Structure 1
Amino acid sequence: MTVIDDPAAAGVSLDPIRARLLAALVEPGSATTLAATVGLTRQKVNYHLRTLEQHGLVELVEERRRGNMTERVMRATAASYVISPAALGAVAPDPARAPDRLSARWLVALAARTVREVGGLLAGAAAARKRLATLAIDAEVRFASAADRAAFAEDLTAAVTALVARYHDDAVPGGRRHRLVVAVHPLIPDTRPDTQDHDTQTREERP
């Protein structure tokens, strides 16, 4: 995965045709092999490929001689891409502007900062050929009531605060700061029929 923080590269990746080419180039291909996939002439595909190459989104794998022409085989530089809020410059969300732990907009701003910061660290680690030390926890919890949700929020805040106080040390030489973000938000409802039936049955069977 590559995090794009250059505005020009972000714009190039968002073009629908170029996005299709990037998806197709998870496996190496040439303008000739890709032309039928995207429904364009080889010349137009070549134009898009060169634009993607200029912005570091695809790379040359090999060149093959085909009669009077040289066929360039390209490959995407990553299997997937994420556009960093850094590409938005001054209009990127900043969690420092209006900190509010109960605000959905602040949650989005925190997530945007995470993408920006970790994306930069990921690029540096890849350049240095080193692993990046991170931790992520993903879980789902179903609350029986709004009161339970509020109680959970209080308990979670107390637990995280206690852990931070236990391990945070400003005095030790050579210590390195880490960012900790904990988020809780509703899930988007799953509209699949089998899931709906299961949820309905669970509610009906609840005493």
Structure 2
Amino acid sequence: MLDVTVIEDPEAAAVSLDPIRARLLAELAAGPASAAMLAGKVGLPRQKVNYHLKALERHGLVELAGERRKGNVTERLMRATAASYVISPLALAAVQPDPDRFRDQLSARWLLALGARLVRDVGSLITGATKARKRLATYALDGEVRFASAAERAAFIQELTAGVSALIRKYDAPDAEGGRDHRIVVAVHPTVKSDNPNPNPNQGQSPNHIPELDSQ
């Protein structure tokens, strides 16, 4: 099972967003189970669970983990193909965000468009690398910092911009034969503060939950 996988197909995205099927995916991410085993957990008849499992299987979201005999019946044990899923903007290709339409380094919506492109591009790269059975060279840095004031934050961003720009100028080799272009995305945004002590993404938050934002 993969830790995370990306959904690019619109129909697969629609299937995964169905509340019942999303619940089945969460159950199967915890371990293989049959339709009969899942029926009691989700409160549906076994035949109805089977219907949903077949839809998930058609789109590669679940797969056969094995079979077992139970009386005169052979049960299919299914498992999720990943522990978690991300829907790529390719699933809404006609209306996917395009950060090249406008550039505003201080715009939260432009940052969102950059994030969407990151999901789309890395998802496509993972798909291609998996098919080619090759490793994908990537790097990510994640951290948090508390600024004493808005002025300190502005100074940090100024230094960050200067430092990253200097590195790009130093290592950029546009005429290098056999070289490969890489995209660099650096983001700074307020930390979303939540009063939910349980970080389990399968349990989620109340639909009325409003995150507390740093207003500095």
TM-score, normalised via structure 1 length: 0.89
CA distance in 1, matches of 2:65, 2:150: 56
Write out per-residue CA displacement over residues 32-53 of structure 1, whole angstroms, 9 at most, x where no aligned residue.
1111010001000000000000
CA distance in 1, matches of 2:186, 2:117: 13
Name the residue aligned to 1:72: 76
**Correspondence for 2:141 among 116, 126, 137:** 137
TM-score, normalised via structure 2 length: 0.85
**Correspondence for 2:13 among 6, 10, 13:** 10
**Correspondence for 1:40 among 35, 38, 44:** 44
Identify unmatched segments of 5+ residues in structure 1: 194-207
Name the residue aligned to 2:24: 21
Is the deviation greater in 183-192 or in 51-60?
183-192
CA distance in 1, matches of 2:74, 2:54: 14
CA distance in 2, matches of 1:16, 1:128: 34
- Please tell me whether Structure 1 or Structure 2 has the larger radius of gyration of its CA atoms: 1
1:51 is the counterpart of 2:59: no
CA distance in 2, matches of 1:30, 1:129: 31
The verdict on how the C-alpha distance between 1:190 and 1:18 changes in structure 2, with shifts beyond 3 A counting, is closer
**Correspondence for 1:158 among 162, 165, 179:** 162
Write out per-residue CA displacement over residues 72-93 of structure 1, whole angstroms, 9 at most, x where no aligned residue.
1111111110001111111111
The verdict on how the C-alpha distance between 1:83 and 1:153 changes in structure 2, with shifts beyond 3 A counting, is same
Q: Letter of the aligned partner of 1:58 in structure 2?
A: V
Q: Letter of the aligned partner of 2:15 in structure 1?
A: V
Write out per-residue CA displacement over residues 103-138 of structure 1, whole angstroms, 9 at most, x where no aligned residue.
000000000000000011111222233221111111
Name the residue aligned to 2:66: 62
CA distance in 1, matches of 2:193, 2:68: 50
Sequence identity percentage: 67
Structure richer in helix, relative to its length: 1
Identify unmatched segments of 5+ residues in structure 2: 198-216
CA distance in 1, matches of 2:126, 2:43: 35
**Correspondence for 1:167 among 147, 150, 171:** 171
Name the residue aligned to 2:103: 99
Q: Letter of the aligned partner of 1:189 in structure 2?
A: K
